[in-house]
Amino acid sequence: MGPRDHAAAAEHDRVRIPGARRLGAVAAPFENGPALHRSPTVNTPSLQRFVDAQAPVYDTVRAELAAGDKRSHWMWFVFPQLRALGRSATARHYGLADLAEAAAYLRHPVLGPRLAECCGIVLGVQGRSAHEIFGSPDDLKLCSSMTLFETAASREPQAPGSTVFSDVLDRFYAGRRDPLTRDLLAPEPPTR
């Protein structure tokens, strides 16, 4: 996912979720820089924001995924990515601060199983690419999300669906991981 792809994703993020309150005031700015692998989860809204956002649309999400045709706006809170990649208030609000928050998402009794279930549904779609299922730029966001959760799951082997993220990346992205997500998760080189 190159800079242009993330610019397209940022433009897409300007689409409002029907009935959603203004998110800009509650979205914490990203302040931790690239040291996401070891930064504490600071100024991060509760994971309840995901449960609340998914509650009215989760059946729709499952149906759209099973049909292999995402049509409505739920990508941010079903397949979240790192907050540092978000440019819109919505993307930042639903962005995960770091690996610790991604691991907490996986351990969450509702969110972890739902994420694994959604990945399983996507893997069940035959004869369609991620682009055909999700459209652009959400196909790129899926790659970013799966790269993040694959990394988090490697540290949480008991998490629901701990291998499903790799399966999605292998099947839909020929094993390619999102380079911007990987760069943000990479340890900082030691300082002298």
Burial class of 69 by CB neighbour count within 10 A (0 to 12, 13 to 18, 19+): middle
Cα 156 from Cα 86, distance rounded (Å): 25
CA 65 remoteness from chain centre? 15
CATH of the domain at 106: 1.25.40.380
Q: What is the average pLDDT across 100-108?
A: 95
Q: What is the DSSP letter of 85?
A: G
Residue 176 maps to a domain: yes
Residue 78 maps to a domain: yes
Q: pLDDT value at position 42?
A: 41
The verdict on pTM exceeding 0.75 is yes
Residue 132 maps to a domain: yes
Residue 36 maps to a domain: no
Give me the DSSP letters along 1-15. Answer: --HHHHHHHHHHTTS
| Start-to-end C-alpha separation, the chain | 32
Residue 143 maps to a domain: yes
Domain that holds residue 157: 3-8+43-185
Token pair 């009215």 is found at 56
pLDDT over 90 for what percent of the chain?
67
What number of other Cβ atoms are within 10 A of residue 73's Cβ? 17
Q: What is the average pLDDT across 144-153?
A: 97
Residue 71 maps to a domain: yes
With 50 as the cut, is the pLDDT of residue 51 above it?
A: yes
Residue 136 maps to a domain: yes
Tokens of 11: 């433009």
Backbone angles phi, psi at 96, to 5 degrees: -90, 140
The helix or strand, by DSSP H or E, that contains position 76, with its residue range, turns out to be helix 75-78
Q: pLDDT value at position 189?
A: 73
Q: Max CA-CA distance within the chain?
A: 54
Instruction: Give the pLDDT band (50/70/90) at residue 134.
Output: very high
Say how many domains are in the chain.
1
Residue 180 maps to a domain: yes
